[in-house]
Structure 1
Amino acid sequence: MAENQEYPQRYTLTAALPYTNGPIHIGHLAGVYVPADIYARYLRLTGKDVLFVCGSDEHGVAISMKAKKEGVSPKQIIDKYHSIIKKSFADFGITFDNYSRTSAEIHHKTASDFFKKLYEQDDFIEETTAQLYDEEAQQFLADRFVTGICPKCGHEEAYGDQCENCGSSLNATDLINPKSTITGSVPTTKETKHWFLPLDRYEGFLRKYILEGHKNDWKPNVYGQCKSWIDGGLEPRAVTRDLDWGIPVPVEGAEGKVLYVWFDAPIGYISSTKEWADREGRDWEPYWKDEGTKLVHFIGKDNIVFHCIIFPSILKAHGDFILADNVPANEFLNLEGNKLSTSKNWAVWLHEYLEEFPDMQDVLRYTLTANAPETKDNDFTWKDFQARNNNELVAIFGNFINRVAVLTHKYYDGVVPEPSDFTKVDQETLETLRNYPETISSSIDRYRFREASQELMNLARLGNKYLADEEPWKVVKEDEGRVKTIMFVALQIAAGLAVLSEPFLPFTSRKLKKILKVRSSTSAALGTGSVETSINTGEVEIQWKHVGINEILLPPSHQLNNAELLFRKVEDEEIQKQLEKLESTKKSNQNASEEINNPMPQKDTITFDDFTKLDMRVGTIVEAEKMAKTKKLMVLKVDTGLDTRTIVSGIAESYSAEEIMGKKVTVLVNLAPRALRGVESEGMILMTENTEGKLVFLNPDEDGVGNGLAIS
């Protein structure tokens, strides 16, 4: 455990940048942020120099899709969710040294400089290729703007950038039976120019770096996916996109193009480091360029290719950055037997959990860690959450601490007693306590956080068993000296739990340290190897290493604070409320599905004479303006060939005035006029809905039908 205190080992830890198209849910926490925070806290406690960075990913296609769906700008979306996510992380106790955002100026410059350097070194291939194109939306379909059948596993809802079922990274043109997520239409292809990173050039480097260098220390799921990609033959990967939201490609001839989010986003770790260094007056480069620094990426399994194949190739091309020492990607977490889904609201949202279970951050942290999807997909259930809390945190950990604190106050007014001779059981118990720092460290160092959390709980079990076997409440009537020794040993275990629990249960650790009047530094310089008591506060300074080497953690005569409960029971009513909330979500999703799959019944039959009364004509929108103080209404001027008339249409949530100017539409011209919000509407625009629920014009064949001709 000993380290050179003058030059502690340096670690750069990154946690996957969350998309700002929605809040954080438990799947994100279990897959990335809880294990990353456990590791960061542990390293700090053991004297390492740690930089832990993250930030909001604000340039993904998901942002543009969310903005279009809500009828707002991407800037409004990212500002809303960046604020929610950042606050949720802080309230949950995730100890980022810096949480940035990719819309920041420092990130735009860093990512642009990366691209320009590689561009000037001729590290890109410039090609004009056929890309999927939505004629109706007049937009290229990159990434999540298109779905289809995965060519590798047959999953029917694969995206244009990856399949979330099998984890394969894809190009939009790889999809079978692609469909636009904007309009629901079948896309065509259209030529466009892009810059590609020729991954095939880096095959030898990646084989040496991953297949030879990390065969024995990377998790099998990470190594296996990388090996499959490399053995399958690497191909050039586009690093630019035809989009109107993102970092503009910083070279001539790239107007209307932005950097691909998976070129831009990982560089966000570097720009976040720069932002931290500027704020703290530090040098950022050692954390990314010093070979003595260990770089570790915490991600979910759907990000393996981007962090292990693409990002290292970009860093290799740049030439002066270190590569990841490990990428301990987790599998997925399901919820009550079903896949977590942001779009279907099938999730436990962090910000809502914090409102509904205030001061119970550690219960969720512990449940997600004890059931972490480290080697396979796992399932979160509210019943398991309740059981983990009531049967483990309350009944084992909390029960032991409460017994120790209450008995110490009852027998000795809260003062640590002076022990007498130690029995063999006492010595064995203290020796077992001293082994726990190394045991837990061994698990954490191998990224086995679930195993480590259970070792911590085993230490609490040790304390409970010791008290149950020694029965101080009975012995006190016969041998007060023996009870002093029993309580002294139990208090040492409590002190050990206060320190060793911090990575897993930081809020509990803080509360327990307050009861025991203990503190532990998380700075790189941890002082001496002996336990010290502050003259000013009366607090005992105990470090992680002290638990493993010191027989006495809480010295005799040390005064404790008042006892308080560490955990409370979770009642059945609370769990039932959460289950009913999910059941309501499930019914809403089923109803929505039924509406799509079971269309409205056919209306009453009409005669041909009824139909011939409808006068439908092709018109052209010549003016358009959103009606003030309404969400849906648009006031249109339409040239019908007969005249130019005013029509009020409820399309403002699907289209802006600018994008429909000059558009040809089908108009029912002989509908009786009707006043809407004080404006007389003289007809109706005929429309339908696509599969996404967006209104779509019933477009006439503009080549075959001229303006003003009736449709028959």
Structure 2
Amino acid sequence: MSAPTETAYWITATPPTPNGDLHIGHLAGPYLAGDVLRRYLAAEGTGTVRYTTGLDDHQSYVPVRGLNDGGRKGEEVADGYGASIESVWHRSGADFDAIVRPRRDVGYQSAVQEFFQRLFDTGHIVARTKPLPYCAGCERWLYEAYLKGDCPHCGSGSNGNACEPCGRPNDCADLVDPVCTACGAAAELRDCERLYFPLAPWEEQLDAFWQDVDMPPHLRALCERMRAEGLPEIAVSHPSEWGVPVPVAGFTEQRIYVWFEMAPGYLLEWRGCGETGPAPAPVQFFGFDNGYFHAVLFPAAFRAYDPSIALPEAFVVNEFYRLEGLKFSTSRRHAIWAHEELARTGADVLRYHVLSDRPNGRQTSFSSAALEISRARLADRWDGWLGRLLTAVAEDTGGTVPAEAPQGPAWERLRARLTETVGQLREAYGIGGYDARRAIALLDEVVASAEDFGYVNGFENERPAGAAAYRAALAAQLAVAAALSAWAAPALPFGSARLAELLGLPAVRRVDASALTPMAPGAPVAAWPGAVFSG
């Protein structure tokens, strides 16, 4: 009899553009949220888990940032900020199994070009001559970051090719009042032959995919609205010197549209993990402004390239995270930079705050005052309870788990309540019901319940014959602390690992009711170090 096949899980987070440092909005969006799911699934031990991303080097925002910085080369911009981004991921605990680096990874360009060429050869990419904005003063064709105007769909200010507020694509020439971002001059429209990927032929397959994939109503509404109005043709090449050269004869001076490049880029992320087999259906984390690419463009491109490619099983989508009422923006330099905040704030504190404030289904807004409230909650409630508990264990039982086992109606009620809570926590951590905000709220409930139990049962020590009941209550709280070190680990990995070490437990355990098992009597418990989660 053959051994059962191990489940493979693949989680992706949208590659960021290295035109600046990562800001808090990025962390509140896909990167930490995806890491939470990765850690949860890995602790389950039911299969291989891979978490991947990349660096979006070929975004036009990279060379535009160089122009705005006094003429720096795009390569310098991408390399400098790329290194900073990777450092922030590491410091914040967002641990990736593969990070694709487009300009440095051997075989990247040829793989992207092969993907593009196959779609052209099979007739899925076609040549079209259409108007494209042009700046006579800068002698440059305008697209994406080089262009701004008003979105033809919602009227908001937009760059070329896609509108962040409404998430809809545009064809650059249909922007209202288009201007060159470099010099501010009004753009003129000139005919330009480019390569296009028509979406309409994939309408039925896309609709079938949308019925299967788990995605939020906001993104589903975008997909259905685009279908109702007629799926457009998407320009997948632009006249430019930055990016992957188009391999098609007659268009080799153009570059592949960077968002179309990302489709094969995702496939390369899976291979970057050392995997040689077909990729499983991924769970993809991204912001709503990237929704059309993931839910419409990429699935259609994959169907055109190879119908056997597994399309995503779930989209986990965040809305905009705001700062002082405006969207965090690297290009506009409206941000609190993650590397600076990590120098002031512990990684767990920052993770706790942005996960609890995650813009899930609504836009939320960061403030330093709210971050301080989160820091105080971890210090006063979480570490306050743990500090009192470990100090009491040191004083009353010499730093070992009491001989008395947890018992009595109060313990049974607490255990039943926490068993129910961890069931809800598993749902909030899991793929189907993923909700980082809910997970943090449930962890707060665990701590609050244990803290209340500790205060109430602390009075047992004032009864003449209450010493044994008091020590049993300490053992009960140690059981909750042990459970917390497992249950909080996906969200707050650093403090959870410190707590597990203090209790002499493995750092990685399943998030389930078994973690609430009372610790062995006489097992050593380390002295309170002063801070675990708030340090």
Q: TM-score range by the shorter chain?
A: over 0.9
What residue in structure 2 maps to residue 585 of structure 1?
Answer: none
What residue in structure 2 maps to residue 366 of structure 1?
Answer: 352
Q: How far off its partner does 1:139 sit?
A: 1.5
Q: How far off its partner does 1:484 sit?
A: 2.2
SS at match of 2:314: coil
Instruction: Note the alpha carbon deviations across 1:409-435, whole angstroms, 9 max, x for none.
Output: 111111111225721111222233333
Q: How far off its partner does 1:221 sit?
A: 1.1
SS at match of 2:111: helix
What residue in structure 1 maps to residue 510 of structure 2?
Answer: 544
- Work out the CA distance in 2 between the residues paired with 1:31 and 1:5: 39
SS at match of 1:455: helix
Q: How far off its partner does 1:76 sit?
A: 0.9
What residue in structure 2 maps to residue 302 of structure 1?
Answer: 289
Higher relative contact order structure (alpha carbons within 8 Å, sequence separation ≥ 6): 2
- Work out the CA distance in 1 between the residues paired with 2:424 and 2:129: 57
What residue in structure 2 maps to residue 423 of structure 1?
Answer: 408
1:434/1:550 contact within 8 Å kept: no
- CA distance change for structure 1 residues 299 and 568 in 2, over 3 Å: closer, same or farther? closer
What letter is aligned with 1:326?
Answer: A
What residue in structure 1 maps to residue 395 of structure 2?
Answer: 410
- Work out the CA distance in 1 between the residues paired with 2:176 and 2:409: 71
What letter is aligned with 1:61?
Answer: S
What residue in structure 1 maps to residue 327 of structure 2?
Answer: 339
What residue in structure 1 maps to residue 233 of structure 2?
Answer: 236
Instruction: Note the alpha carbon deviations across 1:97-123, whole angstroms, 9 max, x for none.
Output: 112212123321221111122122221
2:401/2:521 contact within 8 Å kept: yes
Does residue 284 (structure 1) correspond to residue 272 (structure 2)? The answer is no
What residue in structure 2 maps to residue 435 of structure 1?
Answer: 420
Structure 2 unaligned blocks of 5 or more: none
- Work out the CA distance in 2 between the residues paired with 1:565 and 1:137: 60
C-alpha RMSD of the superposition: 2.0
Q: Which moved more, 1:268-277 or 1:305-314?
A: 268-277
Does residue 89 (structure 1) correspond to residue 83 (structure 2)? The answer is no
- Work out the CA distance in 1 between the residues paired with 2:447 and 2:480: 8
What residue in structure 1 maps to residue 16 of structure 2?
Answer: 18
- Work out the CA distance in 1 between the residues paired with 2:107 and 2:134: 33
The 5 A counterparts of 1:628-647 are none
What letter is aligned with 1:379?
Answer: S
- Work out the CA distance in 2 between the residues paired with 1:237 and 1:316: 16
What residue in structure 2 maps to residue 262 of structure 1?
Answer: 259
What residue in structure 2 maps to residue 701 of structure 1?
Answer: none
Q: How far off its partner does 1:276 sit?
A: 2.4
What residue in structure 2 maps to residue 133 of structure 1?
Answer: 134
SS at match of 1:195: strand
- Work out the CA distance in 2 between the residues paired with 1:512 and 1:476: 31
Q: How far off its partner does 1:476 sit?
A: 7.0
What residue in structure 2 maps to residue 189 of structure 1?
Answer: 189
Q: How far off its partner does 1:487 sit?
A: 1.0
What residue in structure 2 maps to residue 329 of structure 1?
Answer: 317
- CA distance change for structure 1 residues 564 and 7 in 2, over 3 Å: closer, same or farther? farther
2:485/2:507 contact within 8 Å kept: no
2:263/2:302 contact within 8 Å kept: no
- Work out the CA distance in 2 between the residues paired with 1:40 and 1:376: 24
What letter is aligned with 2:502?
Answer: I
SS at match of 1:226: helix
What percentage of residue pairs aligned between the two structures are identical?
25
Q: How far off its partner does 1:63 sit?
A: 0.9
The 5 A counterparts of 1:19-168 are 19-47=17-45, 48-70=47-69, 71-103=71-103, 104-155=105-156, 157-168=157-168
SS at match of 1:128: strand
What letter is aligned with 2:265?
Answer: G
- CA distance change for structure 1 residues 476 and 254 in 2, over 3 Å: closer, same or farther? farther
- CA distance change for structure 1 residues 551 and 363 in 2, over 3 Å: closer, same or farther? closer
The 5 A counterparts of 1:569-580 are none
Give the TM-score taking structure 2 as reference length. Answer: 0.94
Give the TM-score taking structure 1 as reference length. Answer: 0.71
What residue in structure 2 maps to residue 448 of structure 1?
Answer: 435
SS at match of 2:365: strand
- CA distance change for structure 1 residues 398 and 476 in 2, over 3 Å: closer, same or farther? farther
- CA distance change for structure 1 residues 551 and 356 in 2, over 3 Å: closer, same or farther? closer
- Work out the CA distance in 1 between the residues paired with 2:465 and 2:513: 33
What letter is aligned with 1:275?
Answer: G
2:19/2:330 contact within 8 Å kept: no
Q: How far off its partner does 1:345 sit?
A: 2.6
SS at match of 2:501: helix
- Work out the CA distance in 1 between the residues paired with 2:327 and 2:267: 32
1:197/1:237 contact within 8 Å kept: yes
- CA distance change for structure 1 residues 452 and 550 in 2, over 3 Å: closer, same or farther? closer
2:238/2:255 contact within 8 Å kept: yes
What residue in structure 2 maps to residue 644 of structure 1?
Answer: none
- Work out the CA distance in 2 between the residues paired with 1:432 and 1:15: 34
Q: Which moved more, 1:374-383 or 1:424-433?
A: 424-433
Q: How far off its partner does 1:163 sit?
A: 2.0
Q: How far off its partner does 1:273 sit?
A: 2.3
- Work out the CA distance in 1 between the residues paired with 2:243 and 2:96: 25
Q: How far off its partner does 1:511 sit?
A: 1.2
Structure 1 unaligned blocks of 5 or more: 278-282, 522-542, 571-712
Does residue 505 (structure 1) correspond to residue 492 (structure 2)? The answer is yes
Does residue 474 (structure 1) correspond to residue 422 (structure 2)? The answer is no
- Work out the CA distance in 2 between the residues paired with 1:555 and 1:203: 60
Q: How far off its partner does 1:568 sit?
A: 8.2
Instruction: Note the alpha carbon deviations across 1:608-640, whole angstroms, 9 max, x for none.
Output: xxxxxxxxxxxxxxxxxxxxxxxxxxxxxxxxx
1:517/1:559 contact within 8 Å kept: yes
Q: How far off its partner does 1:555 sit?
A: 1.3
The 5 A counterparts of 1:583-598 are none
Q: How far off its partner does 1:84 sit?
A: 0.5
- CA distance change for structure 1 residues 265 and 477 in 2, over 3 Å: closer, same or farther? farther
SS at match of 2:173: helix
Instruction: Note the alpha carbon deviations across 1:449-472, whole angstroms, 9 max, x for none.
Output: 101110011001111011111115
Q: How far off its partner does 1:569 sit?
A: 7.3
What residue in structure 2 maps to residue 376 of structure 1?
Answer: 362
Q: How far off its partner does 1:354 sit?
A: 1.8
1:475/1:482 contact within 8 Å kept: no
What residue in structure 2 maps to residue 389 of structure 1?
Answer: 375
What letter is aligned with 1:375?
Answer: G
- CA distance change for structure 1 residues 566 and 6 in 2, over 3 Å: closer, same or farther? farther
Q: How far off its partner does 1:191 sit?
A: 2.5
1:419/1:485 contact within 8 Å kept: yes
Q: How far off its partner does 1:558 sit?
A: 1.0
- Work out the CA distance in 1 between the residues paired with 2:80 and 2:276: 29
1:416/1:555 contact within 8 Å kept: yes
What letter is aligned with 1:90?
Answer: H
- Work out the CA distance in 2 between the residues paired with 1:130 and 1:160: 13
- Work out the CA distance in 2 between the residues paired with 1:51 and 1:550: 25
Does residue 205 (structure 1) correspond to residue 197 (structure 2)? The answer is no
SS at match of 1:171: coil
Q: How far off its partner does 1:485 sit?
A: 1.1
The 5 A counterparts of 1:241-252 are 241-252=238-249
